[in-house]
């Protein structure tokens, strides 16, 4: 069994200036970013390069329409390297833009057109959660097909991932919390995945430790305290990305896609709604396996005992950062308990295969019903 693979080269710099000093962004590059990142970090350095501001092509999560429009705009420039400098939307879009994009980008997602990489891709993430800089997954809403779909092939890996904690400074507190909680869930789901290896476990554990330690400080001293720990959060998010890029995510992600898609709930927030409930179910099914080690890690950090109650304590703790609320508050109806169970079972087997213990359809339904 393959134990670990990290495809992009990984670089680390404290500041954007240090990154630019080494990578020398210039006329042979296309910088894809947002105005709110360009103004504080790129403009002061007087960098002369080709720039596409993503927000001019739509807001929210990536869509095939957005990719089509940006691919058309891209054709106006001559460049060899794409620098994706932004959050999850920009990173995912650029994984596709580095390919030879057909007129209808949806054809890449459906497999009608095989992926061919034609540009070098450098990813500089500006949130601390997705770990997308080291994975090959790019997810987009395919408006033409009324669905959300991912592409994950060898060609959608970045060539280089660059971590620059300074660039996460401006991330609003709410997005800091939702993105880092996503990273925490990547770390714990990959830790318990049957595909985990001693190498991925090391990355998972370190990520959990760093995120929980940072959260403790934020809970104790207030939201601005996070600014002291951005380096830890950026590294932890990347470690968790390496871990789940190899060992996979599982039920929390699988179930959360339902409400994420139906009610446009932010990915990290949607995950959090399912996190502790899935783990309580795991505990009911097999409290004596590897989950014991996970319980001990959380119990040690939270200063509680490591039985099933650890997930109530964890929830109490995380609720100080992000609120768990009934799914009906997002607009879910009782009938959707069955509907979402069915769609999760039908569409998310790729993730459900990584569950700590297999969950039956009835158990998945029970989780939705408990959270409704
Ligand atoms: Fe995630």
Structure token digits, residue 190: 């990959």
Ligand 1 centroid – CA 200 distance (Å) = 16
CA 237 – CA 161 distance, rounded (Å): 12
Kindly give the distance from the C-alpha atom of residue 255 to the centroid of ligand 1, in angstroms, as a whole number: 12
Print the SS3 string covering 314-327: HHHHHCCCCCCCCH
Contact 261, 140 (CB under 8 A): no
How many whole angstroms separate alpha carbon 302 and alpha carbon 305? Answer: 9
- Going from the Cα of 143 to the center of ligand 1, the distance in angstroms, rounded, reads 22
138 CA → ligand 1 middle, Å: 12
Supply the DSSP string of 93-123, one letter for each residue: HHHHHTB---SSTHHHHHTSS---B-SEEEE
Give burial (CB, 10 Å; 0-12/13-18/19+) of 76.
exposed
- How many CB atoms are closer than 10 A to CB 331? 12
Residues of the chain where predicted confidence (pLDDT) is lower than 50: none
CA distance 198 to 221: 35
Q: Mapping DSSP to helix (H, G, I), strand (E, B) and coil, where does residue 281 land?
A: helix
Please list, in sequence order, all residues whose beta carbon lies within 8 angstroms of the beta carbon of residue 10, skipping any fewer than 6 positions away: 134, 160, 161, 162, 163, 238
User: Any idea of the CA torsion for 68, 69, 75, 77, to the nearest 10 degrees?
Assistant: -140
Residue 147's pLDDT is what?
79
pTM metric for this prediction = 0.95
Query: What is the per-residue pLDDT across 145-184, written as a single tens digit (0 to 9) for each?
Result: 877 788 999 999 999 999 999 999 999 999 999 999 999 9
Give the chain's domains with CATH numbers: 9-168 (3.40.50.1970), 173-371 (1.20.1090.10)
Neighbours of 335 (CB within 10 A): 8
CA distances from 18 to 23, 38, 166 (A): 9, 16, 11
The pLDDT, as a whole number, for residue 264 is 85
Report pLDDT digits (tens) over 174-224.
999 999 999 999 999 999 999 999 999 999 999 999 999 999 999 999 999
Structure confidence at residue 297 (pLDDT): 93
Tell me how far the alpha carbon of residue 268 lies from the centroid of ligand 1, in angstroms: 6
Q: How far is the CA of 253 from the centre of ligand 1 (A)?
A: 6
């Amino acid at each position: 069994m393959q134990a670990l693979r990290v495809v992009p080269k990984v670089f680390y710099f404290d500041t954007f200036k240090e990154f630019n000093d080494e990578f020398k962004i210039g006329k042979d590059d296309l910088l894809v970013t947002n105005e709110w990142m360009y103004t504080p970090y790129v403009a002061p350095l007087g960098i002369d390069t080709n720039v596409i501001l993503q927000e001019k092509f739509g807001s929210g999560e990536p869509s095939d329409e957005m990719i089509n429009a940006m691919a058309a705009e891209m054709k106006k420039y001559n460049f060899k390297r794409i620098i994706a400098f932004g959050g999850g939307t920009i990173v995912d879009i650029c994984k596709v833009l580095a390919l030879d994009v057909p007129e209808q980008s949806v054809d890449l997602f459906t497999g009608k057109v095989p992926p061919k990489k034609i540009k070098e891709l450098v990813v500089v993430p500006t949130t601390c959660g997705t770990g997308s800089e080291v994975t090959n997954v790019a997810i987009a809403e395919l408006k033409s097909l009324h669905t959300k779909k991912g592409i994950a092939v060898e060609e959608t890996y970045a060539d280089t991932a660059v971590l620059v904690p300074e660039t996460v400074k401006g991330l609003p507190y709410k997005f800091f919390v939702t993105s880092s909680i996503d990273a925490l869930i990547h770390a714990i789901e990959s830790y318990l995945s049957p595909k985990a290896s001693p190498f991925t476990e090391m990355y998972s554990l370190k990520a959990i430790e760093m995120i929980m330690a940072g959260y403790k400080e934020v809970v104790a001293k207030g939201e601005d305290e996070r600014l002291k720990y951005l380096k830890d959060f950026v590294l932890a998010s990347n470690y968790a990305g390496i871990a789940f890029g190899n060992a996979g995510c599982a039920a929390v992600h699988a179930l959360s896609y339902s409400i994420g898609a139906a009610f446009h709930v932010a990915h990290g927030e949607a995950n959090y709604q399912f996190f502790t409930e899935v783990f309580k179910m795991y505990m009911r099914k097999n409290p004596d396996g590897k989950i014991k080690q996970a319980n001990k890690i959380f119990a040690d950090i939270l200063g509680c005992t490591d039985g099933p109650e650890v997930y109530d304590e964890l929830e109490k703790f995380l609720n100080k950062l992000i609120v768990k609320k009934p799914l009906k508050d997002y607009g879910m109806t009782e009938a959707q308990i069955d509907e979402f169970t069915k769609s999760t079972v039908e569409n998310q087997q790729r993730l459900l295969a990584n569950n700590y213990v297999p969950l039956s359809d009835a158990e998945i339904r029970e989780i939705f019903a408990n959270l409704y």
